[in-house]
Structures are given as structure tokens and as C-alpha cells.
Amino acid sequence: MINEILVPVCLKGVKRVGRGIASGKGKTCGRGVKGQKSRTGVALSFFEGGQQSLLRALPKRGFNAKSNTVSLNINSLLRLIKNIAKQSDEFVIDKNFLLMNGYIKSVNVKVKIYGIPGVDQKFIIKGIFTTEYLKKFSDI
């Protein structure tokens, strides 16, 4: 008979609330009476009734990785080069040079050189990031 036909759950409509007492979900719409949870815009997902929440009870783990990039000003490097090299020489600035002079602790760190060169010293930058403006001055 027609009353014995079962409707699949996926075809059932959404229960309309607030449409009168006879609907079964009228007046308070199934939220109960008063209280914070009966109001709109309530998010009590992590509230545990006054008990310390699990998020606060567990210890913090891990760390935030710090930036592994070293920024260097070209003028500080050129002052060092001026003391080391002759005026006519073209000097190569690479990670090994920076490591030997104590600017970086390891060859594996990222290095970026910035600034406007003030000295008329010729230099070549190899294997190091530079600003676009600085690339005009060096023979990369």
C-alpha cells in the first residue's frame, strides 16, 4: 500500500521550525527556553561547562621557524673590500667570502644584499640574491 512505501532519507525535506505549535517545532523552534544556547550567533564549540578546556590544558608543542635569511648592506661590504683589495681589482662577493669574514655562520643560509653602492669599487656578486637596483652596479 501507499502508506508502506518508505521515503529515502536523502529525499526527506528539511524540518521547518517556528511554524506553529502543531508542527512540533513551533514557538522556541526546539531550542528550549531562554539561555545563551537559545540565542542566535552562539558558538560554544569548545566550552566545557566551566571545566578548563582541552586546548588550554594540553602543553604547547613545536616552534615557529625563524627566517633563515641574512640581509646585508652593500656599503659595509665595500668598506671591507676597500681595505682588502686594490682599487683596480674586480672583487668577487660570494657566500664563501661572507663566511670567511664573519657575516654569515653557514653557507646554507639565504643572503640578500641591498643598498646603493657609494664607493667606486668594482665588484661581482655570485650566488647571492640582490635588489634589482643593485644589479645595475655589479657584473653578475
List residues bridging with 111 in a β-sheet.
Answer: 70
The total number of structural domains in the chain stands at: 2
On whether both 41 and 87 belong to a single domain, the answer is no
pLDDT of residue 19: 92
**Per-residue cell: 77:** 661590504
pLDDT of residue 49: 80
pLDDT of residue 88: 56
CATH of the domain at 91: 3.100.10
Query: pTM of this prediction?
Result: 0.48
Range of the domain at 39: 15-59
Residue 7 lies in a domain: no
State which residues of the chain have pLDDT below 70: 85-89, 119, 139-140
Distances in Å between the alpha carbon of 48 and those of 42, 45, 54? 14, 8, 9
Residue 84 lies in a domain: yes
